Amino acid sequence: MKKTEVKASPRISAKEPLLSTIEAAQILHLHPQSLHNDRSKQRRIPFLKIGRKVFYRQSDIEAYLASGFVGAPLVPLT
């Protein structure tokens, strides 16, 4: 039987941290239900679904935070 090679998506880096809904909500000072509502309406922050679990890329959270600031530098979350 021949092995099938699976390539990673160019959008998702294995080194980039993925945040759970609760972690993302804490960083954004939102209730996790707010993120759930946004997902169902397909707005705000892009997300990744693996099975039934939902994750957010740290870079998407940072970009969303940066979009709300005019002229302010972004401080990394690390």
Res 73: pLDDT: 53
Of 1.10.10, 1.10.287, 3.10.20, 1.10.3470, the CATH number of 18-67 is 1.10.10
Domain spans, the chain:
18-67
Of 33, 55, 26, the closest CA to residue 45 belongs to 55
Distance between CA 55 and CA 47 in Å, rounded? 6
8 Å CB contact between 45 and 24: yes
Q: What are 42-52's pLDDT values in tens digits?
A: 777 899 999 99
Percent of the chain with pLDDT over 90: 41
8 Å CB contact between 54 and 21: yes
Q: pTM above the 0.75 mark?
A: no
**What rounded mean pLDDT belongs to the chain?**
78
What tokens does 42 get? 């397909």
Of 24, 58, 64, the closest CA to residue 44 belongs to 64
Q: What are 3-37's pLDDT values in tens digits?
A: 444 344 445 666 788 999 999 999 998 899 999 99
